[in-house]
Structures are given as structure tokens and as C-alpha cells.
Structure 1
Amino acid sequence: MEHIKTIIKKARDKNVVLYLKDGALAYSAEAGAFTAELKSLVINNKAEIIAYLKGENDADERLDIAPFSLLDEGEVTQFEGRYEDAYPMSALQKGMVFHTQLDDFSGVYHDIMAEHIKCEWHPEFFQRALTSCLKHHPILRTRLAVDLKRPMQMVHENVSLPLVVEDIRHLSTEEQSKYLADWTEKTKTYKFDWENDSLFQVSIFLRTDVSFEFVINFHHAILDGWSRAIFSMELYAKYSQLLAGGELVEEGSDWTFRDYIALEQEVIKNPEATEFFKTLLSDAPTSQLTAFEQAGLNGSLIEHKRQSEICYEPITELSAELIALAKNLGVSVQSVYFSAHLKVLSFLSGQANASSCITVNGRPESAASEKGLGLYLNSLPFSLEVGGKSWRELINSVAKQLTQIMDYRRYPMMVVQQDTGKDFSDITFNYTHFHVYKGLASEQNTNFEVLSSTVFEQTNFDFHVDVSRVPDTDEVKLFFKFNPDKFDPTWIEQVGKYYKLTLQHMLADLDRANNQCLLLDKAEQTEFAALNDTAR
């Protein structure tokens, strides 16, 4: 069945998720990602793919793990009998908790997502729907023991319903907006009691007789963005089903995240992963934006507590052309935008090589794993010689290396940095396309209307580029999330122009050498050269 695994992996690399629905083969994909070549492969091997996804041949990704089996003897004695299960925290979970505490609970990795929903409010039905979600997803019943020699996560069999309902219908629309903004400002600095508190809460604010504000606030260590989207859609679907007079079919616990932890523990011991990253990053630059950092009043860089965000709107107008370009090249949209990211970094640093961390998904490849909740992300260092490659060569090189990295996608960045002795944590890139919203909404006809939404999320990175594809419109937006104590917002806006010019050059002539495409006028070139000479 190796050829079937290869097909599924090829699909995943193009952001095409193959899964079973009512026993039939189904898929979710970005527009244009499911190319004719890939579709032909899937159709010609349909029966074997279905058999594989049913679990007949995927023992390496579908793990049969007994409760407490990821613990040593002493840990079993400590946790068994008190919890439904316990297993180690992932490296990324530990890192997120560390930075939350380092920044004194200022909001780093405390995510708050709010949606104003037009829908009937029925408290009993909503409580039943939320209770069903908690039973199905162990991560929503998880607490953390962060101070142990080996930090652990413990799954409770039963927890109090993490739901708060508040009626603010007596307030005017403007007063409601202010009330919710003040609530968010206060909530994001909440100090988690990791071992005793719920790390996840739903808040409902009744705004009118036919609408309410649905807010989930949680620590990022338990949910990634895709999981948060899956949870919202599942909760909406269950609630909608009850409103329509239906009954819920209770499901067993989904232990996909426990499988992920086991797979991470396994890859950490893999010497091939160690050597892969040592080779990949041997010439990787680690200082690329130093020349553009601004100093504090005392002449030293200020340790930041907050992160600023700029959405560079002008790049959105190129969305359709760039999606079409990715389709024509047979690569993911992520590869196109990440290529531009590396080009801009090479340009800013004046170095032929560019390096950046990129967020990757490490979900186990097993049936319905895309619907399991947890933190399945990893941020992996990536390095490539940009040099004089044509745009086509650059994009294809990036796509190829991304495929290679996926073989070790669960190898923790913390371990990579220990292996190489280099710090890659200052620059990161993330591409998101939560097409789950569009796909599940159309499948389940939930009768929910989202009137507005707001998001608060903050990381510890100094320079983070977030490329986000909007599910309903396929517009691609570019966000810069940065440390304002290190980078001036005016400079960030200028960097946005470099990204746009880079992408425009790609579209204009794929076979032109990227280093022949100027991103500066003559005056800027002189100033820029002097700045980089000083930095060296």
C-alpha cells in the first residue's frame, strides 16, 4: 500500500484532504488545488484509498494506545486512578506556556474569538450541544501540570460545563460594543491556573431577541486554528439539530491528539530527522532583520509585551492571479506566497540565502483525523538559496523542500535549535485557509448567520507573516504581526510594498531571474546598500 500512502501524501502537500463520509470517499481542498493529475490518481486508486482510510492498512498513523501508556512507571503511579488519561505535553505546548508566563499573562497565546450570531437562543439545547462536544473531545477536558520534570496534560473524565451566559439586551448597540471590547481587554490578561482551571471557556452575550455574541476564549496550547474552526462548526451543527427537533448521536472520545503526542515522541528519537535538519540549515542565516531594528530610549532593545498587527490590503487584489499561478504550476498556494516571503528576506538582508520558520500541520494520517481537536502545529526552520533562480525555479524549489520537510513535520523546533545551535525563532510564516467553514456549513445547513466577528490572538514572535485565505471569497490577505519596540510600523508598511512587488514580478515573467527584478528606486538602493553594509 506504499503507493496509496504516496498519493495521500501528495494530496496533503497540495492542501487536499481525503476522508470518508458515510463510507464514501470525500475531499476538502482549496480552489484549484485538486489538479487534473491528482484527481486522476485518486479516481484510478479509489477503492484502495477507501480501504486505507478505513484503517485496514494505516497502522503507522492509527495508533492503538492504551490510557497512561505514554508514561513511565513513576508517572503512571502518580496519575492513574485520578484521571481518564495522562500523557506528556508537546514541545510546542510547553513553549507556549513558557512565553505566556514570561510575559506575565499579558495576552500572549490567550486567544479570544467572537462571532455575533443571528439565531434563536435556547439555553437547554445549547448546554446539551456543548456537553456533547466536551464528551467527544478530551482536549476540552484537559488540564496541564507544567512544573513537573516532564510536563504533563491530564484528561478529566468529567468537568464543569465551561459556559457563562450574560444578558446585555438592555444596552444600546454602541454600549454593547464597548462592553464587549472592555470584557475582551480584561479577559485576555487572565492568569491561568494550569492544573485546576479550564483552559477553554464559552461565553454567550444575549444582544437581541434573535441574536447573541458567541465567544470562545482559550489558551492556544490546547487548540490550533483549524481545531477552533472545527469545534465551532460542530457545536453549531449540534445546536441546530436540537433546534430542529432532532436528537444527538453521542460519539466516543476522539483520541487523535494523544496519537499526535506519541508520534512526536517517536520522531524525536529518529536520527534521520536530526541529520536532515542539520544538513538543511548548515548555511542558514540567523540574523536577517537586525539592520532594521530600532533601539529603545536607553539604547537597548525593549522587551515587548504586546504585538502590533498590520493588514497590508493592496496585496489582496492579486489573489485570483496567484491562486491560478499555483494551479498552473501544480504547487500549493502556500508555496507561491512562501517563495515571495523568502525573496523579500533575502532582499532585506542582502544575503543569497534566506531562512524562516514555517507553520506546518502534523495531524496523524488516519480516518477522520481532520476533525480531532488539539494543537497539531509545529513551526519548522526552512532555509533556501534564493540567489539568481528564476521565479519558476524558486517556487518549484520551495515546493520540493516543503514536501521533504513534511516527512519530519512533527520534529520540534526546540529540538532543531538544540541540534544546530542556532536560533530561528525571530521570523515566522503561516498560511491558513479554513475551508472547513465553507465545506461544513454547506453540508449541514445550520441556519446560522454570522453578522460580525472579531479575533484577538498574540504570539511571542518579533516578525510574523500571516497569509490568510478567506473561505467565502478566496481573497488572500497579508498580515504582519510584529514587535513594535523593534520594528517601526512605517517600515512594516514599506515591507508590504516589497511583498506586492515581488508577487507582481512573479506574475509578469516566471522565467526571469528574481535578482533582476528591482524592488527599490535608485535613491532607495543607495540608502539600502549603506544600511546593510553597516549591519555587517
Structure 2
Amino acid sequence: MAYPLARMQEFMLHHYSNDHQKMGVYHGQESFDIYDDNLSLTAFKKALEMLVHKHPTLRTVFITSNGKPVCQVVKKNLKFSINEQDISNIKSDEQENYIDEVVKQDRQNLFNVENPYEPLFRLWLFQKAKNRFEFLMSIHHAITDGWSSIEFLNQLYDLYSALKKQEEITVLPTANVYKEFVALEKEIISSPDASNFWKLHLINYTYKPLKPISASVNQVETVAEEYHFDSEIIAGLRELCRKLKVSPKAIFLSTYVDLIATVIKENIVSVGVISNGRTEKLSDPFAALGLFWNIVPLCQPIIRDKNVQIKNVQESLINIEPYVRYPLLKILSDQQEIELFFATFNFVNFHNDKNNFEHLGLKVHRIRLHDKFNFPLNYAVSMESVSANASIHVEYDQMYFSSQDIRSMLQNYLEILKNTINGG
């Protein structure tokens, strides 16, 4: 089954192949420490095989011509291997160092996108002890997103649990929902309404590129900062949401807009907002795996009254919603620009995140995460649906920011947020 690429896939593949600094741009890696009293690596491997058979996106490859992708193909059968290593005979800190080295080498070993026989993912199982192993998945971002990652893990652990109990399971290939997503994108690209909306949205905005602080960076390590919001901030945030009748996303995003304004010293700011494309127009939007999102420029003037600004951001989010599937590449070409922002914002609130596999007898703990964009600055705010715990993950490019810059900016972000919450 061959069909066109989504524009965001084209965008990611371009930046993946032009990652001259070898930073692992759009080369996703995630690893989990898994403890199970009744461990069966055979059942775990079987569950992985079943999921590759089930999900078209995991059997997707790109057909290229002169180094450029021309279409994507879902293969009926895709040969892949599970790299299994027993490292139980070495000390725990040496185990971590060993896996760190595997992760680093994997990131430097790019997926060969031009080879239609090579999967766009790699899997490892490191046995750490009798009842404990680490599962590492490395995957090209052009075939996956954050929601997919959680959905994949949910299905993996459920299948693993059923296989251990020797239940009869039949897993059939699912419909290719991503093909529907690409068709919907084609539809919105041909919409004059969508094109005109973005032209109007950006009418008063002129992009000024960020100047690098360094000519090049020898980067292999993941460069990121993480911060967990305390309960006082969360309580204040929820109270402000009620008072202003806005979403937490609007408050976090308005704060980010303020932060970027202090960096560029401008009073009109554009940030790239990650938009979810899992719409009810798709036949099975939530169980499907694939890259179901886009990045759109949210342009916002800075005003003194922060409550009004937050309401304006909320209104902007509502206004852009019908047009968030209009591809970034198309917005850029319509504006005759190469870039429209250097900073992205992602509000992550996945209600499919069970985050508790104790009922399956598993103790699962994520250890490693590499999720690198090509943009200089990327803030992802995660909010858990049930507990409302929130954290912020900052990923950045050392060509533009030092680690000191990033820590200082994160501190500034928190101060702006606290002042807004406290009515300062």
C-alpha cells in the first residue's frame, strides 16, 4: 500500500538527513526499566512481534528518489530484529554506563531512510537481573508521536500479560488510519479559508532569526532540563483557570510567550505550537500509531494586563483550532519564509497514559528519553489527567543557548508564572 507523505513527515525527514551536528534530530529514543516477579522475555518478544504485525506505521518505509522521499509504503511483512543482551553479570552502575553507550551509538547510527528493507525502529532488551530488564526503543519521529508511544506501551504490556497467562490471542493488522490523516491534510491544503486564515494571523508579524552563540557544537549527549511544579503552583493555576474560565494550556503558553518576548525584546511574538491531529474525522484516532500532529505559528502581542493576555491566548487557541492541520511547510511557503519561529511549545495531556502497570504485576520506570527537535528552544509542559501533577521539559540547541542561559530562562519562566498566579 503506497500513499503520499504528510508534510510534517517531509519536514522531519529533511531535518533528519541534514542534521550536520549529529544531534539526533527527530531520532526518538525511550527506555524503560521493567521488573516482573514472573518475567518471561519470550512472551515480551512475542508481544513486540504481534504489535509490528498489527500496526501499519511500524511496517512503514519511505520510497526515495535522488535522496528525497516520494511516497510511503506499508509492507505486509517487515523483517526486524530484537537485540537481546544479558548484562546481569556486571554491576548496576556499569550496566547503566553500558546502556548509555548503546544509546549514544544508536543515535549516531542514522536510520537508512533510503533502504525500503530496513525498519524505521530498533529494539533492545537488556537483562539486568533474573526478574528485571530494560527495554529500549529507538524510532524515527516521522512515523510516531508521543500519543503513539504511550498507546504502544499500553498495548505491549496488556499483550505481554495475556501471553504469560497463555491466553488465546489473535492480533490482526489494523486499518491504516494514517492514510486517512494524509487525505484530510490534502483536503485542508486545498482550502482557501485555511490559507487566508494563516496569512491574516501573521499579517503584523516579521520574523527575526535568532543569532547563534557558537558556530558549531560537538553534540552527542542529550541536552535537556526538567522541572516539576510544586503543589502550590498547581493549586494557584487551577484557581486562576476557574477565575478566568481558561485552560491550563492558555496560562502556560501565555507565560512562554512572555518569556520569548524577554529573549528577543519584541512586543509581538510567534511560537510554534504543537497541534494534535487526532480528530473524530478519523476512523480510529486514539488507538492508531503514527505522526498525527503539526506545528503552527501562534502569533501574540504582549500586553501589560496578564489576565487579559491569557484570555487573548485562549481565544487564539480557539480561533486557530479549525486550521491547525494546515501544514507548517505550506504556511512557510505561503509566507515566503524559511522560518517563522525559533521556539516551540507542546502542552502534553495524554488521557491514554495509564502510568500504572501494577495491576499487570509489572513495575515500569522510564529511565531515558531523547526527543530532539530542529528548533533552538523547545518547551513541553506535561500535565497528568488524574493527579494534575505537572512538569516542564526543556530541550535546546547549544549553538544558540548555553546550559546557564537555559537554567536562567527556566527560572524566569517560573517567576512570570508565579507572578501571574499571584496577581502580581
Mapped partners of 2:237, 2:19: distance in 1:
38
C-alpha contact (below 8 Å) 2:56/2:173 kept by paired residues: no
Question: CA 1:259–1:428 in 2, change beyond 3 Å: closer, same or farther?
Answer: same
Mapped partners of 2:245, 2:175: distance in 1:
34
Question: CA 1:330–1:371 in 2, change beyond 3 Å: closer, same or farther?
Answer: farther
Mapped partners of 1:126, 1:332: distance in 2:
39
Amino acid in the other structure paired with 1:474:
A
Percent pairwise identity: 25
Where structure 2 has 5 or more consecutive residues not aligned to the other structure, the ranges are none
Alpha-carbon offset, residue 222 of structure 1 = 0.6
Mapped partners of 1:315, 1:109: distance in 2:
31
Mapped partners of 1:239, 1:258: distance in 2:
28
- Higher normalized contact order (CA 8 Å, seq sep 6+, divided by chain length): 2
Question: CA 1:392–1:485 in 2, change beyond 3 Å: closer, same or farther?
Answer: same
The CA deviation string for residues 326-377 of structure 1, in whole angstroms up to 9 with x for no partner, is 3443332211100111122233333321111110111231454111000011
Alpha-carbon offset, residue 421 of structure 1 = 2.3
Which stretch of structure 1 is more off in the superposition, 422-431 or 353-362? 422-431
Quote the residue 1:338 is aligned against.
253
Amino acid in the other structure paired with 1:498:
N
Question: CA 1:161–1:327 in 2, change beyond 3 Å: closer, same or farther?
Answer: farther
Aligned residues: 416
Quote the residue 2:187 is aligned against.
266
1:231 has 2:152 as partner: yes
Quote the residue 2:161 is aligned against.
240
Query: Counterparts of 1:301-320 in structure 2 under 5 Å?
Result: 301-302=215-216, 308-312=223-227, 318-320=233-235
Mapped partners of 1:313, 1:495: distance in 2:
15
Quote the residue 1:88 is aligned against.
4
SS of 1:453's equivalent in the other structure is strand
SS of 1:374's equivalent in the other structure is coil
C-alpha contact (below 8 Å) 2:229/2:389 kept by paired residues: no
Q: Which structure has the bigger radius of gyration?
A: 1
Quote the residue 2:295 is aligned against.
379
Question: CA 1:245–1:327 in 2, change beyond 3 Å: closer, same or farther?
Answer: farther
Query: Counterparts of 1:359-374 in structure 2 under 5 Å?
Result: 359-365=274-280, 366=282, 368-374=284-290
Question: CA 1:206–1:427 in 2, change beyond 3 Å: closer, same or farther?
Answer: same
Quote the residue 2:72 is aligned against.
153
SS of 1:459's equivalent in the other structure is coil
Amino acid in the other structure paired with 1:248:
I
Query: Counterparts of 1:50-449 in structure 2 under 5 Å?
Result: 85-104=1-20, 106-119=23-36, 120-147=38-65, 151-194=70-113, 195-287=116-208, 290=211, 293-294=212-213, 296=214, 301-302=215-216, 308-312=223-227, 318-365=233-280, 366=282, 368-388=284-304, 390-422=305-337, 423-438=339-354, 441=356, 445-449=359-363
Give the TM-score taking structure 1 as reference length.
0.72
Mapped partners of 1:352, 1:451: distance in 2:
42
Amino acid in the other structure paired with 2:319:
Q
C-alpha contact (below 8 Å) 1:94/1:151 kept by paired residues: no
Which stretch of structure 1 is more off in the superposition, 140-149 or 469-478? 469-478
Mapped partners of 1:152, 1:431: distance in 2:
30
Alpha-carbon offset, residue 310 of structure 1 = 2.2
The CA deviation string for residues 235-258 of structure 1, in whole angstroms up to 9 with x for no partner, is 110111111232224244131111
Alpha-carbon offset, residue 392 of structure 1 = 2.3
The CA deviation string for residues 189-248 of structure 1, in whole angstroms up to 9 with x for no partner, is 112222221101221111111111111111111110110111011011011111123222
1:467 has 2:381 as partner: yes
Mapped partners of 1:305, 1:428: distance in 2:
21
The CA deviation string for residues 231-287 of structure 1, in whole angstroms up to 9 with x for no partner, is 011011011111123222424413111111111111111111110000001112422
C-alpha contact (below 8 Å) 1:143/1:155 kept by paired residues: yes
1:496 to 382, 403, 410: 410
C-alpha contact (below 8 Å) 2:10/2:69 kept by paired residues: no
Mapped partners of 2:179, 2:422: distance in 1:
47
Alpha-carbon offset, residue 91 of structure 1 = 1.1
Mapped partners of 2:120, 2:92: distance in 1:
30
Amino acid in the other structure paired with 2:118:
D
Which stretch of structure 1 is more off in the superposition, 221-230 or 147-156? 147-156
Mapped partners of 1:314, 1:362: distance in 2:
28
Over aligned residue pairs, what C-alpha RMSD do you find?
A: 2.4
C-alpha contact (below 8 Å) 2:209/2:342 kept by paired residues: no
Give the TM-score taking structure 2 as reference length.
0.91
Amino acid in the other structure paired with 2:372:
Q
C-alpha contact (below 8 Å) 1:363/1:369 kept by paired residues: yes
Where structure 1 has 5 or more consecutive residues not aligned to the other structure, the ranges are 1-84, 510-516, 518-536
Mapped partners of 1:234, 1:413: distance in 2:
31
Mapped partners of 2:398, 2:216: distance in 1:
10
